Amino acid sequence: MSVYLDHNATSPLRVEAREAMARAYDSGGNPSSVHGPGRAARAIVETARTSVAKHFVTRAEDVVFTSGGTEANNLVIASARAAGAKRLIVSAIEHDAVRDAASASGLEVEILPVTGDGVADLIWLETRLSGWNREADGVPFVALMAANNETGVVQPVEAAGRLVREAQGLFHVDAVQMAGKLAFDFAGSLAHYAALSAHKAGGPQGVGALLLACDAPLNRQMHGGGQETGRRSGTENVAGIAGFAAALAAVEADEAARMAALRDALQSRLESVEGVRIWGAGADRLPNTLCLSATGWASEIQVIAMDLAGFAISAGSACSSGKVRKSRVLEAMGASVDESASAIRISLGWTSMQEDVDRFADAWIREYARIRPRLAAAV
């Protein structure tokens, strides 16, 4: 039986989410209809909206359900342009859903650098914003994810948000990886926008949300029936939304601490192996995420070897149509070409057990010991 250690890509559907979705499917009805079944569907959506809002410390009316984090991120970039941004500041560690949307926007894009531990350089940001030319560059816009999907490094979003607010700009936080792992206080983040995705927390794929501050401009991209109070047309994914809320509600109070203990035990074993480097170890990280490089052992070969041994891991982001490529995130952190090309990510979740971690460590260390002499000979 395969051991699943790729929760940052997708966390398997929680039982509570599956049950909530089944009830929603059985209910039937279009939430825009005024008859009984329609009102029942609307009640499911609005109950879920309230639950999601409470989980992320915001108002229910500030939750816009989407098809996932990618749509939410794209909607924000489009809104920034419509609000008068002419130049976008995007951190070097952003997910492709933000980076590519920014590149495709037709606006100038500047990269916010990170330290060797993968933390956004707020001194650089403060200096850049203090010299902002509003007439030439428009409304300042900054995108900084809450936690990186590859390294797990948690970002200083509140401090960044304060800088952006002082500059009278717009601040976007991709909070996709926070769901189900660490608390994310949207109000406390000072962000205008935050993107979420259900399947990172053990909810269904294909549903997410955009959180909006009361002063956040929004330029809708989906036109049609005027759902989501006119902010995102299209019949709501009632079952998916119900599963999203149920997954968040199912997160146990001690889940983060349990995952951190498992992650730290795994790290202790692997970092003692010669040739291994742990990324982001000097910074706050998501409790479930471990990113490492193994000198000379290509990422894709590691992933295949571990798959054959019965373990599902990844080589960084899983959002590249199955492609394995060098990590831009690690390169931004100062990784060498070899370190970037030999990086893997192990991400734990609600299904992970001590036995899984122990077995993986045994298998990985055994395989690396077997292959290292050949790697050395090739060099």
pLDDT in tens, 38-59: 999 999 999 999 999 999 999 9
Residue 324 pLDDT greater than 60, yes or no: no
Q: Are 244 and 298 in contact (CB under 8 A)?
A: no
pLDDT band at 104 (very low <50, low <70, confident <90, very high): very high
Where are the alpha helices (H) located in 105-237, listed in sequence order?
Answer: 122-130, 134-137, 157-166, 186-189
pLDDT band at 325 (very low <50, low <70, confident <90, very high): low
pLDDT reported for residue 321: 40
Structure tokens at 273: 């192996």
Q: Which of 48, 60, 73 is nearest to 176 (CA)?
A: 73
Strands 63-66 and 208-212, bridge-based pairing: antiparallel
* Marked catalytic residue, from 92, 109, 256, 319: 319
Q: Which whole number is the average pLDDT over 355-369?
A: 97
Structure tokens at 294: 């193994």
CA distance linking residue 101 with residue 265, whole number of Å: 38
Residues forming a β-bridge with 64: 210
pLDDT band at 316 (very low <50, low <70, confident <90, very high): low
Q: Respond yes or no: is residue 319 known to be catalytic.
A: yes
Q: What does the radius of gyration of the chain's CA atoms come to, in whole angstroms?
A: 21
Q: What is the DSSP string of 55-73?
A: HTTS-GGGEEEES-HHHHH
Q: Which of 203, 207, 214, 145 is nearest to 177 (CA)?
A: 145
CA distance linking residue 67 with residue 71, whole number of Å: 6
pLDDT reported for residue 319: 47
Backbone φ and ψ of 352, nearest 5°:
-75, 140
pLDDT in tens, 131-179: 999 999 999 999 999 999 999 999 999 999 999 999 999 999 999 999 9
Structure tokens at 41: 């569907």
Q: Which of 178, 205, 207 is nearest to 72 (CA)?
A: 207
The predicted model scores a pTM of: 0.95
Q: Which of 64, 66, 27, 21 is nearest to 43 (CA)?
A: 27
Collapse the DSSP code of 116 into the 3-class scheme (helix H, G, I; strand E, B; otherwise coil) and give the result.
Answer: coil
Q: Which of 163, 159, 161 is nearest to 173 (CA)?
A: 161
Q: Are 263 and 358 in contact (CB under 8 A)?
A: no
pLDDT reported for residue 376: 67
